[in-house]
Every structure is written in structure tokens, then in C-alpha cells.
Homo-oligomer: A and B are copies of this chain.
């Protein structure tokens, strides 16, 4: 990409947990520059630094901290919007913004399973972006990334599905606290505890996985014909979802073939050299006690999935552990990579995006 200037973007719902990640990841992005931050009416009009309860260890960029928060509504002064809106409001607001001509790349769950909305993991199903052409919004479009626990899973499943076909997947997750947003899980609930339930999470993993791994047809996405069982747990880890996976393959494969498929996985974001693309997208590790949330979640800036403990499964065919950063790869970073992909593939014509020179102060 040869941009004359950075493209101005907005972050919707910028004060929440995922919103803060968007702000942090976009603060020094080579293509994008934050021009507007929105939040609820209650926060609108305040300086971002005053309204946000900043919880990341990287300090808040001072220019961004000084931005005045806008309410989330059409008329925002930049075409490309990243949505970290709460599901309670995202459904209508994102539709309205797309109708007003905005490109909305959303982390919210509301539109993910809509027939005409691409649900994208750029390494896995970049071709699904074409779905967006079916959207009848007035010039705008909605693109979505899957749920945080689904993204890590499909990054590991995609090379196996591509190479051998998958027929069944069992996954048990150990999910991080930051996935629950703000205020999220009370400390007295999770301290010295495991909570073996996350509302709606298993259903999302079981349905979204099939859409992402599905096949684009003239009628939309045909879900992949895989039996998926997800059991989700919350554990006392700040960031990084650990997932224990067992898979059944459509055709026999040796352990070395399975490892080679994972280790050799590369895809369009890597080939296009997108700024947020991890190299490699799936890191295969050999240590018998890895991946570990605290030690591996930051790999490739938090954008890579780490897979370890690949070994045969006495019940299905193979089992392994996959770990990914839930608020970077699994949310804000995943959305940003979709925007980069859409831009690089011309779905979002860069020339139509007003440049950021005027957004600077």
C-alpha cells in the first residue's frame, strides 16, 4: 500500500475493554489514524482521558487522550469505523452507520451470522469479503470478526481443514478475564475459582466456526459440515484464551503431516504484507508445557496463535492446545487486520476515503 497520508478512522465504544485495545493498536498504525472516538451519551463531550478507565499497561497516547468523545451516531467525520460497541446497542447503530455510508468493521456479535455479512478471519476466509457486495446499505458496509475464542480456534483448524478435512471438533476453553469486558467478572466471583460457564459463548463457538470455515456459494456461506462441541470456562488469567482441542479428520494423516500443515500455514495477509499480519500466523511450539497464556499471548504483537502439544487422541484423531490473545487477535487486532485486508484488496477504495491530513491537529 502506498498511501499519501494516513486514513482517518473512528473507534465506536472507545471506553470499553476492546475499545481501549483499538485505541492502543491504532495509536501508531502505519495506515490508519484515529480521528474520532465515540462512547455513550453519558461520556460524550468529555476528554477521552477523563472518561476512560484506562486499564492497559501501555500508557494512553496523549493526543488521543485529549480527543473529545463524540456520541455514536451517523455524521461522524470519517468513513472507516471500528466498532467495539456493546451488543445491546450495536445491532441498530451499526446498520444505521452503514446506511449512512460508513464502512463498519465490528467486533460486536450482532451481525456476525447475518446472511450478507462477512465473518472474517483474514488468514482463513478472505474470499468471504465478497459477501459484502450483497449488502444493500447505501454505500456503506458491515464487516465482522468472530468471537475471541473462535478466532484462536479457527486459526488452528483452518490448515487442518484445508489439508485433511475436519469432521468433528471438541474444544474446551480456559478463557481470560479481559474477554468479559468492563466491569466484567467480579473479583470475588473468580478469585480462587473456575467458572465453568460463559453466557452464549459455546453457542457462538459452535456456529461461528462453521461459518468461517464454510464455503462461499452464490447463495451465501454454506456452513462447514463439522460437528463442533465447545465447553467454555473462565479462569483467573488477564489475557489469553487457552483451548484444548481434539479433532477428527476426514482423511488419515500422520502426526508429522499434521504438524507440517500447522507449521507451514501461511495465507493472504502474510502474502500481502498487511501491517498487522503475524509471521507465522500459527506458531507451532515443541516444549511439552507450552503454549502458556502469560508467555505466549504476546507472540507477533499478540496477533499469532500458538499451538503446542500436538499428539494423537485416543477418542478422535489428534489433540493439541491453542492459545491466542483474546483482546488483540481475538478482537481489536482481528478487526484491524480485516480492514487492512479489505483496503489491500480494494474492497474499501482508499481513494474514496478522505485522507487524514485534516484530522491532525
- Asked if A293 and B194 sit within 8 Å, CB to CB, the answer is yes
Question: Which residues of chain B are near A291, meaning CB under 8 Å?
Answer: 196
Interface of A toward B, CB cutoff 8 Å: 17, 54-59, 168-170, 172, 174, 177-178, 180, 182-197, 206, 227-229, 231, 233, 235-238, 240, 242, 244, 246, 248, 288-295, 297-299, 308-309, 313-316, 319, 321
For the complex with contacts A57-B297, A191-B238, A233-B242, 4 further pairs of A-B residues with Cβ separation under 8 Å are A57-B298, A183-B188, A231-B244, A315-B316
A58 to B168, CA, bound (A): 35
Contact check: which of B183, B187, B206 meets A236 at CB < 8 Å? B187
Contact check: which of B170, B185, B292, B309 meets A315 at CB < 8 Å? B170
- Asked if A295 and B57 sit within 8 Å, CB to CB, the answer is yes
Could you tell me the distance in whole angstroms from the C-beta of A180 to the nearest C-beta in chain B? 8
- Asked if A236 and B55 sit within 8 Å, CB to CB, the answer is no
A197 to B58, CA, bound (A): 21
Given A169-B315, A231-B172, A298-B57, CB of A238 within 8 Å of CB of B192: yes
- Asked if A185 and B186 sit within 8 Å, CB to CB, the answer is yes
Interface centre among A54, A57, A227, A315 (most CB of B within 10 A): A315
Contact check: which of B54, B59, B186, B295 meets A187 at CB < 8 Å? B186
Question: Which residues of chain B are near A55, meaning CB under 8 Å?
Answer: 188-189, 295
